[in-house]
A and B are shown apart, each in its own frame.
Chain A
C-alpha cells in the first residue's frame, strides 16, 4: 500500500475501522516517513486541544481504535479461550463444589443447614444448594456486561469465537472475563448477539503514536 496522508489522518482521527484500519497500520509499521507523520499529527492535535476555548470539564478524550492484532493481545485471547474451556470442563462432567454432600465433607458443613423456609422437610441438601443459586438467564448477565454508557469504537483487537454449548453456566462466562489480568487500556466485551455461540471482543484505546512506539520496541 502506498503512502496516503488522508488515510493516515483518518486513522489518527479514529475514523478507520476493521480491515482498512488494519491495512493502514500494517503500512505504518513499515514506513518510517508515515510514522514521523503520525507523531507530528498527534503533536498537532495536542497543540490544538491546548488552545481549545471550551471549558475544561466538558472536554472528553477521543477513544481511538487500534485495528491491529498484536501478538501480546492475540496470546491473551488464546489464553482466555483456554481458561474458558478449562473452567467449563469440570462444570459439565463433575459435580460442582457447592453440591458436595454433608457425608463427603462433614467439617465444612455449617451448623445450621441452609434450607429455604418454604420447604423445610422435603428438600435434600443437594437440591437446597441448587435452589439457593440465583437463577439468572445467561443472556441477561452477558447483556449487562456488554451494555456500556461510554461511546467506544467496537473494533476488535482479537476476536475469539466460543463454541455453542447446550447448558452453559452464566457465572463461568463472567469468571473468564475477570480472571485474566489485562493492561488498563484493554477491555473485554462479551457479545452474545451472533449466531455462533457468542464472541469475545478485546478492544483497546491506546493512542496511535504509542502503538507505533510499541511496535518498534517489539521488533
Chain B
C-alpha cells in the first residue's frame, strides 16, 4: 500500500487518541459511574464514549484541553443515555435499576434508600452538578467547565438541588 500524507496524518491522529484514551479511561469510567449512578452500564457507556470521541477527534480544535473535551463528551453521552432511560421506564423501575445490586440493597438503610430515590427524582440539570460535587469531588470551577455553565449557575443549581433533597427527605436527615 502506497504511503500518502492523509494516511500518515490518520495514523498519527489514531496514535494521539490512543494515548489520550489510555490516560483518561479510568477517569471517564468514574465520571460515567457518578453521573449514571450505576456501575452496571458503565463499561458499555465507556465504550460508547470512546467511539464517539474517536469519531469526533478529527474535529477537535484544541479550544479546551483534550481531557476536558473528552469529559464533556462523557457527560453528554451519559445524560443522553439517562434521558432515553427515563423515557422508557417508570421512575419506580428506574430507581431499582440504578441500585448497585441485591447485596448492597440489603445493607442500605431506609434513609440511604430514600436519599437515592430523592436524588433520582431531581431533574438532570440539578442532579448532575450535585453528584459531580459529592461523588467525583470536583470543584465549582471544574463543574462549570465540564457543564459549560457559569460558576454562579453551578452554585445556584447546587443550592436548589440541596433544598429539594432536604425537602424530600424531611426529618430523615
Residues of A within 8 A of B (CB): 5-6, 9-10, 13, 15, 40-41, 43-45, 47-55, 58, 60, 62
Contacts and interface: CB of A to CB of B under 8 A. Distances in A.
Contact of A50 (B33, B39, B115, B156): B115
Contact of B140 (A15, A51, A52, A58): A15
Contact of B133 (A13, A43, A51): A13
B134 A48 contact: yes
B91 interface: no
A54 B135 contact: yes
Interface string B86-118: 000000000000101000000010011001100
A15 B130 CA distance: 14
A13 B162 CA distance: 12
Given A10-B140, A47-B115, A48-B119, A54 B159 contact: no
10 contacts: A15-B140, A44-B162, A48-B134, A49-B134, A50-B115, A51-B115, A52-B135, A53-B39, A53-B135, A62-B137
B79 interface: no
Contacts, number: 65
Interface in B137-173: 137, 139-140, 155-156, 158-159, 162, 165-166, 169, 173
B47 interface: no
B58 interface: no
Nearest to A41: B162
B121 interface: no
Nearest to A7: B155
Contacts of B131: 48
A5 B159 contact: yes
A47 B112 contact: yes
B137 A60 contact: yes
